[in-house]
C-alpha cells in the first residue's frame, strides 16, 4: 500500500477501506508517510468528508497507535467530560471534584490554551506547587485516593493524534468535523473512561460558530463513543458570551473556588450542575444530587484533597496582576451583547494565552467582567477590568474590544439566551 493511492482515493470522493485507514495512520505515526502527504489527505478529507464507518475506523486506528488506560481496579464507576473550548470556560475545575463527591471517579485528562481559548492546565498551574504531569501510576493513585484527577495526557496516549493535530494546525485543515471528532474521541476512548459527557459549544467564542455545525460535531462524537462501547452524551451550550465573570488563569481559579464554596456566577453554577447530572446519570449514579454536594461542602473537600495530591497548596494566595486598566461604560443603558471571541482575544493579548504551544502564559493576566448581557449599566462605571503584568499590552488588548459590546437605551427588553441549548444522545 502507498500514500499516493490513499490520497487519490479520497481526492476522488471514494470511501477509504479499513486496510487503507489502518495503514496510513500507522505509517504516518512511524514516519513512513511524509507530512506533505498527510497534509494532502487531510485536505481531501476536509473537502470530501468521511462516512460513519470511515470515521470510526480512523478513530480506532489512532487509538491503536498508542496505549490504552483502564481503571478496573477502582471501586467507583468512571465518568469524564470534554469541552470543545471557549472563553471563561472554567467548568472542569468545580465539576471534577463535584462529581467525585457524588460517588464517581473522574479521570480528567486536560489540555492547554491556544489562541483565544483558555486551557484547564494553564489555569491550575497558577496554584502554587500544583503540577500537571503525572505518571500513570501517580494518576491512578490520585484518582483512587481523592476520586478525581485533572492532569496532562501522557505521550503514549494516541500519539498519532498528537502528530496529526500539529499538522492540521498549520495546513488549514483544523475545521474538518471528521478530524475534530476523531481527534477528541481517540484520546477520550484511549483514556479508558466508562462514560463521557461532551460540552459542545457554539457561538463567537467557540470553535463551532453555528448551532448546526455544533450539532453535527456532537452527533459524530456521540456516534463514535457509542461505536467504541463508551456511554456518551453531548450538551450543546452557548458560547456567544463568556462564561462567568472572568477570563484568564488565576482569575478563573478564584471564581471556581467561589462556586465550590456555594457562590459564584449563576451561569457557571447552572452549567456545572447540568454537566454533573449528565455525568452521574451516565455512570449509573443518577440518584445523587450534585447541588447538595455543593451546598454541604463535600465538593470543596474533594477539591482541596485533589489539589494537595498534585503538589498544590489550596490555601496559598493566587497570583494577582501588577497592572490593571478599567474600561468604563460610555453611556447609560442595557448591555445587550458582550462578545466572547473579543474578550478571549483581549485576555490572550494581555498574556493569559499563547500564540504557539511553547509560549509562556501569565498566571494573573485576563479580563474581569463587571456586567453581563441583560444588566443595566451607567456611564462611567466599570464594564471590564484588564489584568496583566506587562503594561504595554493594554493598547493591543484594547484594540480587540472596540466592537466587543453593545449598549441599548435604558428600558430596552432583553431575553437571555439559555446556557444549555440542546442535548444529543
14 is catalytic: no
3-state secondary structure of 227: helix
From 90, 116, 187, 215, active-site residue: 187
161 is catalytic: yes
Pairing of strands 195-202, 80-83: parallel
144 is catalytic: no
From 81, 112, 168, 215, active-site residue: 168
53 is catalytic: no
Whole-number Å distance between alpha carbons of 232 and 82: 11
Burial (CB < 10 A; 0-12, 13-18, 19+), residue 391, is: exposed
Q: Where are the beta strands (DSSP E) in 112-252?
A: 148-152, 195-202, 231-238, 246-248
Whole-number Å distance between alpha carbons of 370 and 376: 11
183 is catalytic: yes
Whole-number Å distance between alpha carbons of 133 and 121: 10
From 122, 161, 227, 339, active-site residue: 161
Whole-number Å distance between alpha carbons of 128 and 238: 32
261: number of CA atoms within 13 Å, CB side?
Answer: 10
From 183, 186, 256, 321, active-site residue: 183
DSSP characters over 4-30: HHHHHHHHTTPPPPHHHHHHHHHHHHH
**Helix/strand/coil percent split, the chain, to 5:** 45, 15, 40
Give, for 64, the enclosing helix (H) or strand (E): helix 52-64
From 81, 82, 116, 387, active-site residue: 82
120: number of CA atoms within 13 Å, CB side?
Answer: 24
Catalytic residues: 82, 161, 168, 183, 187
Amino acid at each position: 500500500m502507498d500514500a499516493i493511492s490513499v490520497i487519490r482515493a479520497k481526492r476522488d470522493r471514494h470511501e477509504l477501506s479499513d486496510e487503507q485507514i489502518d495503514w496510513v495512520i500507522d505509517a504516518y505515526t512511524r514516519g513512513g508517510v511524509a507530512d506533505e502527504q498527510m497534509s494532502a489527505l487531510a485536505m481531501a478529507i476536509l473537502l470530501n468528508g468521511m462516512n460513519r464507518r470511515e470515521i470510526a475506523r480512523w478513530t480506532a486506528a489512532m487509538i491503536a497507535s498508542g496505549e490504552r488506560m483502564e481503571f478496573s481496579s477502582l471501586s467507583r464507576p468512571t465518568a469524564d467530560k470534554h469541552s470543545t473550548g471557549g472563553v471563561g470556560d472554567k467548568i472542569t475545575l468545580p465539576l471534577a471534584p463535584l462529581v467525585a463527591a457524588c460517588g464517581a471517579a473522574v479521570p480528567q485528562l486536560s489540555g492547554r490554551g491556544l489562541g483565544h481559548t483558555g486551557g484547564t492546565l494553564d489555569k491550575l498551574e497558577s496554584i502554587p506547587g500544583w503540577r500537571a504531569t503525572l505518571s500513570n501510576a501517580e494518576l491512578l493513585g490520585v484518582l483512587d485516593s481523592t476520586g478525581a484527577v485533572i492532569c496532562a495526557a501522557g505521550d503514549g496516549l494516541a500519539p498519532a493524534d498528537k502528530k496529526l493535530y500539529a499538522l492540521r494546525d498549520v495546513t488549514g485543515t483544523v475545521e474538518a468535523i471528521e478530524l475534530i471528532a476523531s481527534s477528541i474521541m481517540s484520546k477520550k476512548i484511549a483514556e479508558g473512561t466508562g462514560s463521557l459527557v461532551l460540552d459542545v459549544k457554539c457561538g463567537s467564542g467557540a470553535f463551532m460558530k453555528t448551532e448546526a455545525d455544533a450539532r453535527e460535531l456532537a452527533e459524530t462524537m456521540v456516534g463514535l463513543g457509542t461505536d467504541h462501547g463508551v456511554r456518551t452524551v453531548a450538551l450543546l451550550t452557548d458560547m456567544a458570551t463568556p462564561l462567568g465573570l472572568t477570563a484568564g488563569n488565576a482569575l478563573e481559579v478564584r471564581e471556581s473556588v467561589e462556586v465550590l464554596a456555594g457562590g459564584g456566577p449563576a451561569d457557571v453554577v447552572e452549567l456545572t450542575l447540568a454537566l454533573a447530572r449528565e455525568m452521574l446519570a451516565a455512570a449509573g449514579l443518577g440518584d445523587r444530587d450534585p447541588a447538595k454536594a455543593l451546598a454541604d461542602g463535600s465538593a470543596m473537600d474533594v477539591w482541596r484533597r485533589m489539589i494537595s495530591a498534585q503538589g498544590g497548596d489550596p490555601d496559598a494566595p493566587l497570583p494577582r496582576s501588577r497592572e490593571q486598566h478599567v474600561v468604563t461604560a460610555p453611556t447609560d443603558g442595557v448591555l445587550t451583547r458582550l462578545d466572547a471571541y473579543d474578550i478571549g482575544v483581549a485576555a490572550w493579548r494581555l498574556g493569559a494565552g499563547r500564540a504557539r504551544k511553547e509560549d509562556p502564559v501569565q498566571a494573573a493576566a485576563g479580563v474581569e467582567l463587571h456586567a453581563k448581557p441583560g444588566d443595566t449599566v451607567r456611564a462611567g462605571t466599570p464594564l471590564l477590568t484588564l489584568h496583566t503584568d506587562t503594561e504595554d499590552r493594554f493598547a493591543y488588548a484594547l484594540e480587540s474590544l472596540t466592537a466587543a459590546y453593545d449598549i441599548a437605551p435604558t428600558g430596552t427588553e432583553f431575553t437571555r439566551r439559555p446556557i444549555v441549548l440542546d442535548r444529543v444522545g
